[in-house]
Amino acid sequence: MTRAQLLADDPLWLILIKAVVLLLLGALSTMAMIVLERKIVARMQHRPGPNRVGPGGWFQSIADAIKLPFKEQVIPDTADRKVYFLAPIMSTIPAFLAFSVIPFGPEVSIFGERTVLQLVDLPVGVLVILACSSMGVYGIVLAGWASGSPYPLLGGLRSAAQVISYEIAMGLSIVAVILYSGSLSTGDIVDAQHSGWYFYLLAPSFVIYFISMVGETNRAPFDLPEAESELVGGFHTEYSSMKFALFFLAEYVNMVIVSAFCTTLFFGGYMAPWPISLIDGNYFNTGWWPLLWFFGKTAVFLFVFIWLRGTLPRLRYDQFMRLGWKVLVPVNLVWIVAVVALRAIRHDQSISSGSIVWIVAVVVVVLIAVALLLPDRAVPPDEQVPVTGGGYPVPPLDLRVPDKENLKPRVRRRRERAAVGAGPERGADKETQQ
């Protein structure tokens, strides 16, 4: 029986068990990720990290989960209450829905019932995951708008622009995978990688997808919608208690989703890695073993998320947009054309594999040469901005601080006394204003 036929024969009790397990998987993975992120980043920065709550601080997430529902709910007077309450729900529910089409393992037996470790196998499963990841941004945008505050609104608008930019790059990176596998079903994509995983067969698609998934989830160094130094806290500044916890939950569940999706698309899904796959035939690709390989690969990507947060500084917004629109999207389009051309050439038996490699090499060299030879746009003299050695605009040079000798005697004495820690003279501010 095929995967779709096995899933269609699942009884109701088995479907409910799978749904409950997926809900628990999202919640438990979030709790584990919070503790691991704190501990790993603390290790990178030579700090102890959480070590008070429970043995080794491992109960810190449980303490947070108990504390957040009991915190006071502060709602701004200018907030649109209906949309304000709806926004966290719109961010959380699509994140959990994406779990339903991810294949976690092959055919197994659960209480005597033959089934597949997947809730549903849709012929357009890839599009379902993309749609769920896109729907989450609506909650962020509505949260920023409904808060009635300027900083959350700016964070929501940033997130909208960010998701639109990187959703296009992510969707284009999956086109090559669909062309190679010949299907939009996640299960079929995993089965198509028995002859080779796509992370090296379609290396440019994998690199672009990885960069896009970091930008899609608003994680460092692409966490512009919640840049603390600029927007206080971003789109969730005015949220507290359980509504803030839902945004937190949605962020980490989305991290797990995009990591599991990357495992499915480029790393063979639940198939055993080499050289384990060579041991005892196909033993480690059957039964419950594939669950271990799937979650192990997903954990590697989740660790890279944490690694990036503890390593790279936040990008400027113009750099972030330039990377998405001027680098990832054009490279993706050129790569798709190359993949289509290669597949057309492979069907022509008169051309050898060596000739295909030489053709691709020549095309890549020509594209690089054209990119290097294109002249930069010259800036007219009337549009040029004075810059420093670092290349950034500077304020006008006529903004000077008055010299110390030109200050009034009493103001000068007040500043000197404040500099040595004696504090300003009583009434000095009033006399200075006069």
Residue type at position 363: V
Mean pLDDT for 213-234 is 77
- Helix, strand, coil % in the chain, rounded to nearest 5: 70, 0, 30
Mean pLDDT for 95-119 is 89
Q: In whole angstroms, what is the distance from residue 312 CA to residue 176 CA? A: 29
23-32, 267-276, 420-429: least confident range: 420-429
Is the pLDDT confidence value at 329 over 60?
yes
Q: Residue 115 pairs with which residues in a beta bridge? A: 108
CA atoms within 13 A on the CB side of 1: 14
Give the mean pLDDT of the chain: 81
Give the model's confidence band at 216: pLDDT under 50 very low, under 70 low, under 90 confident, else very high.
confident
Give the model's confidence band at 423: pLDDT under 50 very low, under 70 low, under 90 confident, else very high.
very low
Q: In whole angstroms, what is the distance from residue 396 CA to residue 399 CA? A: 6
- Please say whether the beta carbons of 71 and 241 come within 8 A: yes
44-53, 101-110, 244-253, 408-417: least confident range: 408-417
- What is the pTM assigned to this prediction? 0.79
Q: Residue 387 pairs with which residues in a beta bridge? A: 393
Q: In whole angstroms, what is the distance from residue 110 CA to residue 415 CA? A: 79
Q: What confidence tens digit (pLDDT) does each residue in 373-406 have?
A: 766 555 555 555 554 545 555 555 554 555 555 5
Q: What is the rounded end-to-end Cα distance, in angstroms, of the chain?
A: 91
Mean pLDDT for 131-157 is 85
With a pLDDT cut of 90, the percent of the chain lying above it is 20
Is the pLDDT confidence value at 307 over 90?
yes
- Please say whether the beta carbons of 52 and 25 come within 8 A: no
Give the model's confidence band at 189: pLDDT under 50 very low, under 70 low, under 90 confident, else very high.
very high
Mean pLDDT for 128-152 is 86
Q: Residue with structure tokens 């790993």?
A: 40
Mean pLDDT for 97-114 is 89
| Predicted local confidence at residue 392, as pLDDT | 53
Cα dist. 401→53, 228, 406, 410 in Å? 52, 31, 10, 18
Count other C-beta atoms under 10 Å from residue 1's C-beta: 11
**Residue 5 corresponds to which tokens in the numbers above?**
């036929």
Q: What confidence tens digit (pLDDT) does each residue in 338-350 have?
A: 888 877 777 766 6
Q: In whole angstroms, what is the distance from residue 143 CA to residue 79 CA? A: 10
Q: What region, left, alpha or beta, does residue 182 occupy, with left being phi > 0 and alpha being psi -120 to 50 degrees?
A: left
| Predicted local confidence at residue 131, as pLDDT | 87
| Predicted local confidence at residue 425, as pLDDT | 46
